[in-house]
Amino acid sequence: MSDKSNRKTSITTRVAQALHFIESETGAVVPAIQPAATYARDDAYQIRKPYFYRRDGNQATVHAEAIIAELENATDSLLFASGMSACTAVIEHLPTGAHVVAPRVMYHGVLHQLQTYAANKRITLSYYTAGNIAELAESVASCKPTLVWVETPNNPNWEVTDIAAAAKIAHDAGAKLIADCTATPPNMTRALDLGADFSFHSATKYLNGHSDITAGVLSVRETGPFWDDIILIRKLQGTVLHSYDAWMLIRGMRTLFLRVEKCCKNAMAIAKHFDGHQHVEAVLYPGLPTDPGHEVAKRQTDGQYGGMMSIIVRGTEQTAIDVARFCEVFYPATSLGGVESLIEHRKTVSGEGFPVHPRLLRLSIGIEDADDLIYDLEQALARAVG
């Protein structure tokens, strides 16, 4: 009989302890970084499993994948060198001519990638308005897709799409559903539990949380030949996450619950403060009870709503750019999900042709003191308005 209790610890405990990591030889409570690109065969000239060559994966990547699989309640998770390379693997695994239904407005990089594949006639693309389930159903009914793409909450307007409803629509039509929930990490939103076939996160964002690596992760409820294809694509394209970055990600994830809780609290305080503000036309944040996505978000994000929001300032496009320029605590930088708050004039970043409000500022709220962030936006707005 083991003298250990059988009590299963909570996910919060397991993530904080990186799955109670103890190195068997030394007792070290933190994994070592193994930078090797190749592994020697044994005396019988056999491969010493499980590692053979860097592109197949490595200790740190596999360990980080195990943590994410627990967070996602997934059968398997796979880490890529960036969010974009994970999304590309999903698109690549589709048969030529496959039909994909995606939001008309979404994270610009993924949309750009889908549109590039469509322009090259690799896939066909149809659209729906983010957050609009009726339009999603119509689009799916008219084109019989292979894959339905949902991003929720959705860049840069933070519309909320009901993942369970989208999964039912996709499955009834024989399609798979991928949910990009980068803005609400899996301690808030578990897309697989809600019916998605793939859960995707840019781990560059909240999962790592410190703006010091790029990484992407795909998780699945059920494996199968499609998943073997994706594993093969990662290997052949060489897009596995580097061991050093995987190690950074493991360290970042230890504080996931703490960081995200603070980001959400700060975001709610900021959204409430600027909702109805004289220099602000609109605050786009699902945490506000008046937000059209509020009720679905409450169910889908464990009542936490996330740290991402946008504000549409009054005045001109230049006023919005000036607010971003005049901030002294917020960094005028792209990306999201880090401990430091970022502000960005989204139109400048996503470029001409991408439909985004010219006076929209995207805010990624970090873990700083909420009053400092509110004061900073107040002074920048006052200066920009003049």
Ligand X SMILES: *Cc1c(COP(=O)(O)O)cnc(C)c1O
Catalytic residue positions? 55, 107, 180, 205
Would you count residue 182 as binding ligand X (CB under 6 A)?
A: yes
When the beta carbons of 147 and 380 are compared against ligand X, the nearer one is 147
Per CB under 6 A, which region of 31-39, 103-111, 342-350, 376-384 contacts ligand X? 103-111
Least CB distance to ligand X at residue 74 (A): 18
Would you count residue 214 as binding ligand X (CB under 6 A)?
A: yes
When the beta carbons of 205 and 279 are compared against ligand X, the nearer one is 205
Least CB distance to ligand X at residue 385 (A): 30
When the beta carbons of 211 and 279 are compared against ligand X, the nearer one is 211
Would you count residue 180 as binding ligand X (CB under 6 A)?
A: yes
Residue nearest to ligand X (CB): 83
When the beta carbons of 279 and 310 are compared against ligand X, the nearer one is 310
Least CB distance to ligand X at residue 155 (A): 5
When the beta carbons of 356 and 381 are compared against ligand X, the nearer one is 356
**Three-state SS annotation for the chain:** CCCCCCCCCCHHHHHHCCCCCCCCCCCCCCCCCCCCCECCCCCCCCCCCCCCEHHHCCHHHHHHHHHHHHHHCCCEEEEECCHHHHHHHHHHCCCCCEEEEEECCCCHHHHHHHHHHHHCCCEEEEEECCCCHHHHHHHHHHHCCCEEEEECCECCCCECCCHHHHHHHHHHCCCEEEEECCCCCCCCCCCCCCCCCEEEEECCCCCCCCCCCCCEEEEECCCCHHHHHHHHHHHHHCCECCHHHHHHHHHHHCCHHHHHHHHHHHHHHHHHHHCCCCCEEEEECCCCCCCCCHHHHHHHCCCCCCCEEEEEECCCHHHHHHHHHHCCCCECCCCCCCCCCEEEEHHHHHCCCCCCCCCEEEEECCCCCHHHHHHHHHHHHHHHHC
- Show the tokens assigned to 227: 């998943």
List the interface residues with ligand X, window 135-154 (CB under 6 A). Answer: 151
Considering only 204, 239, 301, 304, the residue that binds ligand X (CB under 6 A) is: 204
Would you count residue 350 as binding ligand X (CB under 6 A)?
A: no
Would you count residue 263 as binding ligand X (CB under 6 A)?
A: no
Least CB distance to ligand X at residue 305 (A): 16
* Residues that contact ligand X, how many (by CB under 6 A): 16
Per CB under 6 A, which region of 202-210, 219-227, 273-281, 309-317 contacts ligand X? 202-210
Considering only 68, 100, 110, 309, the residue that binds ligand X (CB under 6 A) is: 110
Name the site residues for ligand X (rule: CB under 6 A). 82-84, 107, 109-110, 151, 155, 180, 182, 202, 204-205, 214, 216, 336
